[in-house]
Amino acid sequence: MRDPQRGTPAPARPVVVTLPTEIDISNAERLGEDLCAAFAVGATTVIADMTRTRFCDSSGISMLVMAHRKAAASHAELRLVAISTAVLRALTLVRIDNFLPVYPSVADALRPGPPPELATDRLSDRRTAGSAISPARLRARTGRENGQPLPPAPPELTNRV
């Protein structure tokens, strides 16, 4: 599409792809194709709306990685919108939030720029209601500071056959 006044291409609008409540091996491939197809039409930003998603297994995460690669190859951006604690936890465990921006709402994802807060921050905020472990409590439980490596396992545990 061209801007009639300037004769230059008009900026592409973001494309929002709404994902289902559950993403697993039965539907991940089709959803990945849907996300990748959005890049084929020239979109520079595709938003994977996971606001309804309450479950996403490893095949769903693989689909998101594949869509991210397609976005990079197309010189475009894939943005995720996720609010479910279970989905955020899965994304955080595999560190997908290190290379894909995760937004708290579609409205935030439609705005230019980075997300207002990181998914890991939102996840830790939800955990702070009584389940977070303070550094002092961590030292008391483990005898280590936060971030210190674990001591080596005793030989009697490592030499089992």
- Give Cα 120 distance to the centre of its chain: 10
Q: Strand, helix or coil at 17?
A: strand
Task: Dump pLDDT digits (tens) for 72-89.
Answer: 999 999 999 999 999 999
Q: What is the largest CA-CA distance in the chain?
A: 78
Query: pLDDT tens-digit profile of 93-113?
Result: 999 988 899 999 999 999 987
Q: Is residue 49 within 8 Å of 106, Cβ to Cβ?
A: yes
Q: How many CB atoms lie within 10 A of CB 152?
A: 8
Closest CA to 82 of 112, 62, 55: 55
**pLDDT at residue 114, as a whole number:** 77
Distance between CA atoms of residues 9 and 94, nearest Å:
38
Position 118 pLDDT exceeds 90: no
Q: What is the pTM of this model?
A: 0.67
In this model, does residue 131 exceed pLDDT 90?
no
Q: What is the rounded average pLDDT for all residues in the chain? A: 78
Kindly report the backbone phi and psi dihedral angles of residue 37, in degrees, each rounded to the nearest multiple of 5, phi listed first.
-65, -30
> Which pLDDT does position 39 carry in this prediction?
87
Mention every residue, 6+ apart, whose C-beta is less than 8 A from residue 16: 46, 47, 49, 106, 110
For residue 77, give both structure tokens.
Answer: 């951006």
- What pLDDT shows up at residue 1? 47
Domains of the chain (ranges plus CATH)? 15-146 (3.30.750.24)
Write down the residue that tokens 């951006």 correspond to: 77
Residue type, 115: P
